[in-house]
Amino acid sequence: MNRAYSYYGKRIFDLILVSFVLVIFLWFILLILFFYCVTVEFPVFFLQSRIGKNDIPFMMWKFRTLSSQEDKPLPERRFTLGDFLRLTNLDELPQLWNVLKGEMSLVGPRPLPVEYGSHFTHDQKKRHTVRPGITGWAQVYGKNSLSWEQKFNYDLQYIDRISFWTDVTILLKTITLVLSMKRDVSLTEEKFKG
């Protein structure tokens, strides 16, 4: 691990890049909000309590991609705009706010729901020694096709190898992955049970 980058440079890198991305994508975020209004799909945002650095929970933001009718099965809660946002990963854009607040980083282990907190082994809990990320090694090397154990192994490998170039590599691979628009299978992912 590059300790100087991990402790100081990573946060500076996040703030500079997020500020740049927000300037470039602000019009696009406003366009997405417009489409929510046109399609009358409210609420716009989905907030969920996730496990953050040092096991401190925080509210993670996403664009909502399923209807709020939680009594219905997942397939019946889908809507066109939500499917598009999930396919393109644009539903993650509101997490830039979490990065600005210091709750997340651009790159790191994906934050998991607080309900999973009691299921982690001692080694798996090491993923909470850094800020969770919008993207990470597990996301660019398999994402939902990986088992939970494989995802956690990638998370721990990332923590051991944090550096500026590692983060840049993951971000570039993320852009490639987003542009490929692979079919989203996140709705069929099994919950982590330890």
Spatial distance between the Cα atoms of 53 and 94, rounded to a whole number of angstroms:
19
pTM score, whole prediction = 0.91
Given a contact cutoff of 8 angstroms between Cβ atoms, the answer to whether 81 and 16 are in contact is no
- pLDDT score recorded for residue 62: 96
> How many other β-carbons are positioned within 10 Å of the β-carbon of residue 132?
25
Contact 173, 190 (CB under 8 A): no
Q: Would you state the pLDDT for residue 180?
A: 81
Tokens 């100081």 — which residue? Answer: 8
Those residues whose C-beta lies under 8 Å from the C-beta of residue 189, and which sit 6 or more positions away, are 144
Instruction: State whether the Cα torsion 124-129-135-137 is positive or negative.
Output: negative
User: In this predicted structure, what is the pLDDT of residue 72?
Assistant: 84
pLDDT < 70: residue spans in the chain: 183-189, 194
The pLDDT, as a whole number, for residue 186 is 65
> What's residue 3's pLDDT?
82
- Domain boundaries defined on the chain: 3-183
Report whether 155 contacts 109 (CB < 8 A).
yes
